[in-house]
Structure 1
Amino acid sequence: MELQVLPLAVTMMAGPQIVAAVVLVTTARPVRVCLAFLLGVAIATAVGVALARGIFALLGQAIAPGDPSDRGVAAVVVQLVLVGLLALVAVKNVVKRRTAEPPKWLGSLMEVGPRKALTTGILIILLMPSDIAVMLTVGANLEQHDAQWTAALPFVAATVFIAALPLLVYLLLGDRARHAMPRLREWLTTHSWVVNVAACLIFIVLILAP
Protein backbone atom coordinates (compact mmCIF):
# COMPACT_ATOMS: atom_id res chain seq x y z
CA MET A 1 0.00 0.00 0.00
CA GLU A 2 1.33 3.41 -0.95
CA LEU A 3 2.13 5.81 1.88
CA GLN A 4 -0.25 8.41 0.39
CA VAL A 5 -3.16 6.23 1.53
CA LEU A 6 -2.15 6.43 5.19
CA PRO A 7 -3.47 9.99 5.69
CA LEU A 8 -6.92 8.54 4.99
CA ALA A 9 -6.74 7.28 8.58
CA VAL A 10 -7.30 10.90 9.64
CA THR A 11 -10.54 11.00 7.66
CA MET A 12 -11.65 7.71 9.21
CA MET A 13 -12.04 9.46 12.56
CA ALA A 14 -13.07 12.91 11.36
CA GLY A 15 -16.67 13.71 12.19
CA PRO A 16 -18.91 11.98 14.75
CA GLN A 17 -16.22 9.32 15.16
CA ILE A 18 -13.74 11.59 16.96
CA VAL A 19 -16.61 13.26 18.81
CA ALA A 20 -17.59 9.84 20.16
CA ALA A 21 -13.99 9.22 21.27
CA VAL A 22 -14.00 12.52 23.17
CA VAL A 23 -17.39 11.82 24.76
CA LEU A 24 -16.19 8.43 26.02
CA VAL A 25 -13.24 10.08 27.77
CA THR A 26 -15.72 12.04 29.87
CA THR A 27 -17.59 8.95 31.13
CA ALA A 28 -17.31 7.53 34.65
CA ARG A 29 -14.90 4.76 33.58
CA PRO A 30 -13.01 6.38 30.70
CA VAL A 31 -10.04 4.02 30.39
CA ARG A 32 -11.99 0.75 30.24
CA VAL A 33 -14.66 2.24 28.02
CA CYS A 34 -12.17 3.85 25.64
CA LEU A 35 -10.07 0.68 25.33
CA ALA A 36 -13.20 -1.26 24.40
CA PHE A 37 -14.08 1.42 21.84
CA LEU A 38 -10.58 1.24 20.33
CA LEU A 39 -10.83 -2.54 20.04
CA GLY A 40 -14.10 -2.11 18.16
CA VAL A 41 -12.51 0.44 15.82
CA ALA A 42 -9.59 -1.91 15.14
CA ILE A 43 -11.85 -4.89 14.40
CA ALA A 44 -14.19 -2.93 12.15
CA THR A 45 -11.38 -1.24 10.20
CA ALA A 46 -9.54 -4.52 9.61
CA VAL A 47 -12.71 -6.33 8.53
CA GLY A 48 -13.85 -3.41 6.36
CA VAL A 49 -10.55 -3.19 4.49
CA ALA A 50 -10.49 -6.97 3.95
CA LEU A 51 -14.02 -6.86 2.50
CA ALA A 52 -13.14 -3.89 0.29
CA ARG A 53 -10.04 -5.69 -0.98
CA GLY A 54 -12.16 -8.71 -1.87
CA ILE A 55 -14.80 -6.60 -3.63
CA PHE A 56 -12.25 -4.91 -5.85
CA ALA A 57 -10.53 -8.21 -6.56
CA LEU A 58 -13.83 -9.45 -7.99
CA LEU A 59 -14.50 -6.21 -9.86
CA GLY A 60 -11.00 -6.15 -11.30
CA GLN A 61 -11.38 -9.64 -12.74
CA ALA A 62 -14.81 -8.81 -14.13
CA ILE A 63 -13.63 -5.64 -15.89
CA ALA A 64 -10.23 -6.74 -17.16
CA PRO A 65 -9.52 -10.43 -16.52
CA GLY A 66 -5.88 -11.26 -16.99
CA ASP A 67 -4.84 -7.67 -17.74
CA PRO A 68 -3.00 -6.18 -14.73
CA SER A 69 -2.62 -2.79 -16.48
CA ASP A 70 -6.38 -2.21 -16.21
CA ARG A 71 -6.88 -3.45 -12.67
CA GLY A 72 -7.37 0.09 -11.39
CA VAL A 73 -10.29 1.00 -13.69
CA ALA A 74 -12.95 0.12 -11.15
CA ALA A 75 -11.06 1.98 -8.43
CA VAL A 76 -10.86 5.17 -10.50
CA VAL A 77 -14.59 5.10 -11.29
CA VAL A 78 -15.54 4.56 -7.65
CA GLN A 79 -13.17 7.30 -6.45
CA LEU A 80 -14.66 9.84 -8.90
CA VAL A 81 -18.16 8.96 -7.75
CA LEU A 82 -17.05 9.35 -4.14
CA VAL A 83 -15.67 12.83 -4.86
CA GLY A 84 -19.05 13.91 -6.20
CA LEU A 85 -20.94 12.45 -3.26
CA LEU A 86 -18.58 13.99 -0.71
CA ALA A 87 -18.91 17.39 -2.36
CA LEU A 88 -22.70 17.13 -2.07
CA VAL A 89 -22.44 16.13 1.59
CA ALA A 90 -20.14 19.09 2.32
CA VAL A 91 -22.52 21.54 0.63
CA LYS A 92 -25.48 20.06 2.51
CA ASN A 93 -23.69 20.51 5.84
CA VAL A 94 -22.89 24.15 5.07
CA VAL A 95 -26.44 24.96 3.94
CA LYS A 96 -28.03 23.32 6.99
CA ARG A 97 -25.42 24.43 9.53
CA ARG A 98 -27.83 26.66 11.49
CA THR A 99 -30.31 23.86 12.05
CA ALA A 100 -27.81 21.00 12.31
CA GLU A 101 -27.97 18.93 15.47
CA PRO A 102 -25.55 16.27 16.70
CA PRO A 103 -26.71 12.66 16.35
CA LYS A 104 -28.91 11.65 19.30
CA TRP A 105 -26.80 8.54 19.92
CA LEU A 106 -23.83 10.72 20.89
CA GLY A 107 -25.65 11.84 24.02
CA SER A 108 -26.33 8.24 25.04
CA LEU A 109 -22.58 7.48 25.10
CA MET A 110 -22.23 9.23 28.46
CA GLU A 111 -23.72 6.18 30.18
CA VAL A 112 -22.18 3.32 28.19
CA GLY A 113 -20.08 0.48 29.58
CA PRO A 114 -17.24 -1.42 27.89
CA ARG A 115 -19.56 -3.79 25.99
CA LYS A 116 -21.62 -0.97 24.49
CA ALA A 117 -18.42 0.96 23.73
CA LEU A 118 -17.07 -2.05 21.82
CA THR A 119 -20.26 -2.24 19.77
CA THR A 120 -20.13 1.51 19.17
CA GLY A 121 -16.55 1.28 17.91
CA ILE A 122 -17.55 -1.41 15.41
CA LEU A 123 -20.72 0.24 14.17
CA ILE A 124 -19.30 3.76 13.96
CA ILE A 125 -16.79 2.50 11.40
CA LEU A 126 -18.84 -0.04 9.45
CA LEU A 127 -21.98 2.10 9.18
CA MET A 128 -20.44 5.54 8.63
CA PRO A 129 -20.62 6.49 4.90
CA SER A 130 -17.34 8.42 5.01
CA ASP A 131 -15.53 5.46 6.59
CA ILE A 132 -17.00 3.06 4.05
CA ALA A 133 -15.69 5.36 1.33
CA VAL A 134 -12.22 5.43 2.89
CA MET A 135 -12.06 1.65 3.25
CA LEU A 136 -13.19 1.24 -0.36
CA THR A 137 -10.38 3.55 -1.42
CA VAL A 138 -7.84 1.55 0.58
CA GLY A 139 -9.19 -1.71 -0.82
CA ALA A 140 -9.00 -0.33 -4.35
CA ASN A 141 -5.41 0.75 -3.76
CA LEU A 142 -4.47 -2.71 -2.50
CA GLU A 143 -6.05 -4.37 -5.52
CA GLN A 144 -4.53 -1.88 -7.97
CA HIS A 145 -1.04 -2.67 -6.64
CA ASP A 146 -1.75 -6.39 -6.24
CA ALA A 147 -0.97 -6.13 -2.51
CA GLN A 148 -2.14 -8.49 0.20
CA TRP A 149 -4.49 -7.40 2.98
CA THR A 150 -1.60 -7.28 5.44
CA ALA A 151 -0.21 -4.28 3.55
CA ALA A 152 -3.07 -2.27 5.08
CA LEU A 153 -2.01 -2.95 8.66
CA PRO A 154 -0.21 0.44 8.94
CA PHE A 155 -3.49 2.09 7.88
CA VAL A 156 -5.43 0.13 10.51
CA ALA A 157 -2.86 1.01 13.18
CA ALA A 158 -2.94 4.70 12.21
CA THR A 159 -6.74 4.76 12.43
CA VAL A 160 -6.67 3.23 15.92
CA PHE A 161 -3.95 5.66 17.02
CA ILE A 162 -6.01 8.67 15.93
CA ALA A 163 -9.06 7.23 17.70
CA ALA A 164 -6.90 6.88 20.82
CA LEU A 165 -5.71 10.51 20.88
CA PRO A 166 -8.43 11.76 23.27
CA LEU A 167 -7.59 8.95 25.72
CA LEU A 168 -3.84 9.59 25.39
CA VAL A 169 -4.34 13.31 26.06
CA TYR A 170 -6.52 12.42 29.04
CA LEU A 171 -3.83 10.12 30.47
CA LEU A 172 -0.89 12.43 29.77
CA LEU A 173 -2.32 15.76 30.89
CA GLY A 174 -4.24 14.56 33.93
CA ASP A 175 -6.41 17.19 35.62
CA ARG A 176 -5.99 19.72 32.82
CA ALA A 177 -7.40 17.25 30.32
CA ARG A 178 -10.22 16.26 32.68
CA HIS A 179 -11.35 19.88 32.80
CA ALA A 180 -10.82 20.56 29.10
CA MET A 181 -12.47 17.45 27.66
CA PRO A 182 -16.06 18.35 28.65
CA ARG A 183 -15.66 21.78 27.01
CA LEU A 184 -14.20 20.16 23.90
CA ARG A 185 -17.06 17.68 23.87
CA GLU A 186 -19.63 20.47 23.99
CA TRP A 187 -17.91 22.41 21.20
CA LEU A 188 -17.67 19.35 18.94
CA THR A 189 -21.29 18.39 19.46
CA THR A 190 -22.55 21.92 18.70
CA HIS A 191 -20.20 22.38 15.74
CA SER A 192 -20.43 18.91 14.24
CA TRP A 193 -21.10 20.41 10.80
CA VAL A 194 -17.63 22.01 10.80
CA VAL A 195 -16.02 18.65 11.51
CA ASN A 196 -18.09 16.96 8.81
CA VAL A 197 -17.24 19.56 6.16
CA ALA A 198 -13.54 19.40 7.05
CA ALA A 199 -13.63 15.60 6.78
CA CYS A 200 -15.25 15.77 3.34
CA LEU A 201 -12.73 18.31 2.04
CA ILE A 202 -9.75 16.36 3.40
CA PHE A 203 -11.01 13.19 1.82
CA ILE A 204 -11.61 14.87 -1.56
CA VAL A 205 -8.07 16.25 -1.58
CA LEU A 206 -6.63 12.86 -0.68
CA ILE A 207 -8.59 11.13 -3.46
CA LEU A 208 -7.58 13.66 -6.11
CA ALA A 209 -3.93 13.89 -5.01
CA PRO A 210 -1.59 12.32 -7.60
Structure 2
Amino acid sequence: MSLLTVLPLAIVMVAGPQLLSAVFLATSERWRRNSALFVLGACLSISTVVALAYLLGSGAASQGASRPLLDAVVVVVLLAAMVDTYRSREEAEPPAWMGRLGSASPRFSFRLGFLLLGFFPSDLLTSVAVGSYLAGHGLPLTDAAGFVALTALLLALPALAVLALGERGEAALPDVRDWMETNSWLVNEVVLAFFVVIVVTG
Protein backbone atom coordinates (compact mmCIF):
# COMPACT_ATOMS: atom_id res chain seq x y z
CA MET A 1 0.00 0.00 0.00
CA SER A 2 1.31 3.44 -0.83
CA LEU A 3 1.82 6.09 1.83
CA LEU A 4 -0.94 8.08 0.16
CA THR A 5 -3.32 5.27 1.08
CA VAL A 6 -1.82 4.35 4.45
CA LEU A 7 -1.56 7.78 6.04
CA PRO A 8 -5.25 8.73 5.85
CA LEU A 9 -6.32 5.35 7.26
CA ALA A 10 -3.84 5.70 10.11
CA ILE A 11 -5.50 9.03 10.94
CA VAL A 12 -8.88 7.28 11.08
CA MET A 13 -7.43 4.80 13.55
CA VAL A 14 -6.44 7.47 16.07
CA ALA A 15 -8.99 10.26 15.55
CA GLY A 16 -11.20 10.12 18.61
CA PRO A 17 -10.86 8.43 22.01
CA GLN A 18 -7.69 6.71 20.83
CA LEU A 19 -5.64 9.91 20.59
CA LEU A 20 -7.44 11.36 23.59
CA SER A 21 -6.32 8.35 25.63
CA ALA A 22 -2.77 8.82 24.38
CA VAL A 23 -2.91 12.47 25.49
CA PHE A 24 -4.10 11.56 28.98
CA LEU A 25 -1.50 8.81 29.33
CA ALA A 26 1.26 11.18 28.21
CA THR A 27 0.52 13.28 31.27
CA SER A 28 0.01 10.37 33.67
CA GLU A 29 2.21 9.53 36.65
CA ARG A 30 4.13 6.81 34.79
CA TRP A 31 3.75 8.34 31.36
CA ARG A 32 6.78 6.74 29.71
CA ARG A 33 5.79 3.14 30.48
CA ASN A 34 2.09 3.83 30.10
CA SER A 35 2.48 5.42 26.68
CA ALA A 36 4.88 2.74 25.42
CA LEU A 37 2.63 -0.11 26.53
CA PHE A 38 -0.46 1.61 25.16
CA VAL A 39 1.18 1.82 21.73
CA LEU A 40 2.45 -1.77 21.97
CA GLY A 41 -1.00 -3.08 22.81
CA ALA A 42 -2.45 -1.12 19.91
CA CYS A 43 0.11 -2.50 17.45
CA LEU A 44 -0.57 -6.07 18.51
CA SER A 45 -4.33 -5.80 18.15
CA ILE A 46 -4.22 -3.91 14.85
CA SER A 47 -1.76 -6.42 13.38
CA THR A 48 -3.94 -9.32 14.54
CA VAL A 49 -7.13 -7.93 13.01
CA VAL A 50 -5.42 -7.01 9.74
CA ALA A 51 -3.83 -10.47 9.50
CA LEU A 52 -7.11 -12.27 10.17
CA ALA A 53 -8.93 -10.17 7.57
CA TYR A 54 -6.11 -10.82 5.12
CA LEU A 55 -6.28 -14.58 5.65
CA LEU A 56 -10.04 -14.60 5.22
CA GLY A 57 -9.77 -12.47 2.10
CA SER A 58 -7.02 -14.67 0.66
CA GLY A 59 -9.10 -17.76 1.39
CA ALA A 60 -12.07 -16.24 -0.40
CA ALA A 61 -9.88 -15.33 -3.37
CA SER A 62 -8.48 -18.88 -3.59
CA GLN A 63 -12.03 -20.22 -3.68
CA GLY A 64 -12.87 -18.12 -6.70
CA ALA A 65 -14.00 -14.80 -5.28
CA SER A 66 -13.24 -12.08 -7.81
CA ARG A 67 -11.38 -8.87 -7.08
CA PRO A 68 -14.53 -6.78 -7.75
CA LEU A 69 -16.39 -8.86 -5.16
CA LEU A 70 -13.64 -8.38 -2.57
CA ASP A 71 -13.52 -4.67 -3.37
CA ALA A 72 -17.28 -4.54 -2.82
CA VAL A 73 -16.78 -6.11 0.60
CA VAL A 74 -14.17 -3.46 1.45
CA VAL A 75 -16.52 -0.67 0.34
CA VAL A 76 -19.36 -2.09 2.45
CA VAL A 77 -17.06 -2.29 5.48
CA LEU A 78 -15.91 1.31 4.97
CA LEU A 79 -19.47 2.55 4.56
CA ALA A 80 -20.38 0.78 7.80
CA ALA A 81 -17.49 2.59 9.49
CA MET A 82 -18.76 5.90 8.11
CA VAL A 83 -22.27 5.22 9.43
CA ASP A 84 -20.89 4.29 12.86
CA THR A 85 -18.76 7.43 12.94
CA TYR A 86 -21.70 9.64 12.00
CA ARG A 87 -24.05 8.04 14.51
CA SER A 88 -21.55 8.49 17.34
CA ARG A 89 -20.62 12.09 16.46
CA GLU A 90 -22.65 13.47 19.36
CA GLU A 91 -20.66 11.29 21.73
CA ALA A 92 -17.46 13.28 21.17
CA GLU A 93 -17.15 14.03 24.88
CA PRO A 94 -14.67 11.62 26.47
CA PRO A 95 -16.15 8.95 28.74
CA ALA A 96 -15.85 9.34 32.50
CA TRP A 97 -13.20 6.62 32.80
CA MET A 98 -10.82 8.62 30.62
CA GLY A 99 -10.41 11.19 33.37
CA ARG A 100 -8.86 8.48 35.53
CA LEU A 101 -6.05 7.73 33.09
CA GLY A 102 -3.76 10.08 35.00
CA SER A 103 -3.26 7.34 37.57
CA ALA A 104 -3.41 4.39 35.16
CA SER A 105 -1.11 1.41 35.61
CA PRO A 106 1.15 0.12 32.82
CA ARG A 107 -0.89 -3.09 32.66
CA PHE A 108 -4.11 -1.14 32.22
CA SER A 109 -2.48 1.03 29.54
CA PHE A 110 -1.46 -2.05 27.53
CA ARG A 111 -4.93 -3.55 27.81
CA LEU A 112 -6.54 -0.25 26.85
CA GLY A 113 -4.38 0.06 23.72
CA PHE A 114 -5.13 -3.53 22.72
CA LEU A 115 -8.89 -3.27 23.18
CA LEU A 116 -9.41 0.30 22.00
CA LEU A 117 -7.48 -0.01 18.74
CA GLY A 118 -8.52 -3.60 18.08
CA PHE A 119 -12.22 -3.55 18.90
CA PHE A 120 -13.46 0.05 18.76
CA PRO A 121 -16.00 -0.18 15.88
CA SER A 122 -14.41 2.29 13.47
CA ASP A 123 -10.91 0.89 14.13
CA LEU A 124 -12.04 -2.71 13.76
CA LEU A 125 -13.74 -1.95 10.46
CA THR A 126 -10.77 0.05 9.17
CA SER A 127 -8.30 -2.74 9.99
CA VAL A 128 -10.60 -5.28 8.33
CA ALA A 129 -10.76 -3.04 5.26
CA VAL A 130 -6.95 -2.85 5.09
CA GLY A 131 -6.49 -6.62 5.34
CA SER A 132 -9.27 -7.30 2.84
CA TYR A 133 -7.92 -4.70 0.43
CA LEU A 134 -4.45 -6.26 0.44
CA ALA A 135 -5.86 -9.75 -0.08
CA GLY A 136 -8.21 -8.63 -2.82
CA HIS A 137 -5.41 -6.92 -4.75
CA GLY A 138 -2.93 -9.77 -4.36
CA LEU A 139 -0.57 -7.69 -2.24
CA PRO A 140 1.58 -9.19 0.54
CA LEU A 141 0.49 -8.87 4.14
CA THR A 142 3.78 -7.09 4.87
CA ASP A 143 2.40 -4.09 2.96
CA ALA A 144 0.30 -3.39 6.07
CA ALA A 145 3.47 -2.64 8.05
CA GLY A 146 3.38 1.02 7.02
CA PHE A 147 -0.23 1.33 8.15
CA VAL A 148 0.56 -0.17 11.57
CA ALA A 149 3.76 1.87 11.95
CA LEU A 150 2.09 5.18 11.07
CA THR A 151 -0.78 4.46 13.46
CA ALA A 152 1.74 3.71 16.21
CA LEU A 153 3.63 6.93 15.47
CA LEU A 154 0.47 9.02 15.67
CA LEU A 155 -0.47 7.40 18.98
CA ALA A 156 3.02 8.08 20.31
CA LEU A 157 3.04 11.77 19.31
CA PRO A 158 1.68 13.08 22.66
CA ALA A 159 4.38 11.24 24.61
CA LEU A 160 7.04 12.28 22.09
CA ALA A 161 5.92 15.91 22.45
CA VAL A 162 6.33 15.72 26.23
CA LEU A 163 9.69 14.00 25.83
CA ALA A 164 11.01 16.57 23.36
CA LEU A 165 9.40 19.77 24.66
CA GLY A 166 8.86 19.06 28.33
CA GLU A 167 6.38 21.42 29.97
CA ARG A 168 5.69 23.25 26.71
CA GLY A 169 4.63 20.00 25.07
CA GLU A 170 2.48 19.06 28.04
CA ALA A 171 0.82 22.49 28.00
CA ALA A 172 -0.10 22.10 24.31
CA LEU A 173 -1.83 18.76 24.76
CA PRO A 174 -5.15 20.12 26.14
CA ASP A 175 -5.60 22.20 22.95
CA VAL A 176 -5.03 19.08 20.83
CA ARG A 177 -7.50 17.18 22.99
CA ASP A 178 -10.18 19.89 22.66
CA TRP A 179 -9.79 20.04 18.88
CA MET A 180 -10.08 16.27 18.55
CA GLU A 181 -13.18 16.16 20.73
CA THR A 182 -14.90 18.58 18.36
CA ASN A 183 -13.64 17.54 14.92
CA SER A 184 -12.54 13.89 15.00
CA TRP A 185 -15.78 12.48 13.58
CA LEU A 186 -15.62 14.81 10.57
CA VAL A 187 -11.97 13.93 9.92
CA ASN A 188 -12.90 10.25 9.96
CA GLU A 189 -15.75 10.72 7.51
CA VAL A 190 -13.57 12.57 5.01
CA VAL A 191 -10.76 10.02 5.19
CA LEU A 192 -13.04 7.00 4.92
CA ALA A 193 -14.76 8.55 1.91
CA PHE A 194 -11.32 9.12 0.38
CA PHE A 195 -10.46 5.44 0.73
CA VAL A 196 -13.81 4.39 -0.71
CA VAL A 197 -12.90 6.41 -3.82
CA ILE A 198 -9.49 4.70 -3.96
CA VAL A 199 -11.07 1.25 -3.81
CA VAL A 200 -13.78 2.01 -6.36
CA THR A 201 -11.41 3.61 -8.87
CA GLY A 202 -8.39 1.38 -8.16
TM range (shorter): 0.7 to 0.9
Q: Could you tell me which residue of structure 2 aligns to residue 67 of structure 1?
A: none
Q: Could you tell me which residue of structure 1 aligns to residue 194 of structure 2?
A: 205
Find 2:157's aligned residue among 154, 165, 187: 165
Q: Could you tell me which residue of structure 2 aligns to residue 89 of structure 1?
A: 84
> Which amino acid in 2 is paired with 1:82?
V
In structure 1, stretches of 5+ residues that fail to align are 65-69
1:6 to 2:19 alignment: no
1:143 to 2:144 alignment: no
Given that 1:86 and 1:204 are in contact with CA atoms closer than 8 Å, whether structure 2 keeps it comes out as no
Following superposition, the deviation at residue 28 of structure 1 comes to 1.1
Give me the whole-angstrom Cα distance separating, in 2, the residues matched to 1:171 and 1:139: 33
Following superposition, the deviation at residue 20 of structure 1 comes to 0.8
- Runs ≥4 residues deviating over 6 A: none
In structure 2, stretches of 5+ residues that fail to align are none
TM-score normalized with structure 1 length: 0.83
Give me the whole-angstrom Cα distance separating, in 1, the residues matched to 2:111 and 2:47: 15
Given that 2:6 and 2:146 are in contact with CA atoms closer than 8 Å, whether structure 1 keeps it comes out as yes
TM-score normalized with structure 2 length: 0.86
Give the greater-gyration-radius structure (CA).
Answer: 1
Q: Identity rate of aligned residues, in percent?
A: 30
Give me the whole-angstrom Cα distance separating, in 2, the residues matched to 1:23 and 1:180: 12
**Secondary structure of the equivalent of 1:27?**
coil
Report the aligned-residue RMSD.
2.2
Given that 2:54 and 2:131 are in contact with CA atoms closer than 8 Å, whether structure 1 keeps it comes out as yes
Following superposition, the deviation at residue 193 of structure 1 comes to 5.0
Find 1:115's aligned residue among 107, 114, 120: 107
Give me the whole-angstrom Cα distance separating, in 1, the residues matched to 2:81 and 2:182: 13
Listed as ranges, the matches of 1:36-75 within 5 Å are 36-64=37-65, 70=66, 72-75=67-70
Point out the structure with the larger helix share.
2
Residues 44 and 144 (structure 1 numbering): CA distance in 2 closer, same or farther, change over 3 Å?
A: same
Given that 1:60 and 1:73 are in contact with CA atoms closer than 8 Å, whether structure 2 keeps it comes out as no
Given that 2:70 and 2:132 are in contact with CA atoms closer than 8 Å, whether structure 1 keeps it comes out as yes
1:155 to 2:147 alignment: yes
Give me the whole-angstrom Cα distance separating, in 2, the residues matched to 1:170 and 1:117: 17
Give me the whole-angstrom Cα distance separating, in 1, the residues matched to 2:121 and 2:25: 22
Given that 1:93 and 1:193 are in contact with CA atoms closer than 8 Å, whether structure 2 keeps it comes out as no
Aligned length: 198
Give me the whole-angstrom Cα distance separating, in 2, the residues matched to 1:125 and 1:74: 27
1:195 to 2:184 alignment: yes
Given that 2:16 and 2:92 are in contact with CA atoms closer than 8 Å, whether structure 1 keeps it comes out as no
Give me the whole-angstrom Cα distance separating, in 2, the residues matched to 1:202 and 1:54: 25
> Which amino acid in 1 is paired with 2:133?
N
Deviations 1:45-84 (A, max 9, x none): 11111111012122223453xxxxx2x2343222332343
Give me the whole-angstrom Cα distance separating, in 1, the residues matched to 2:29 and 2:145: 32
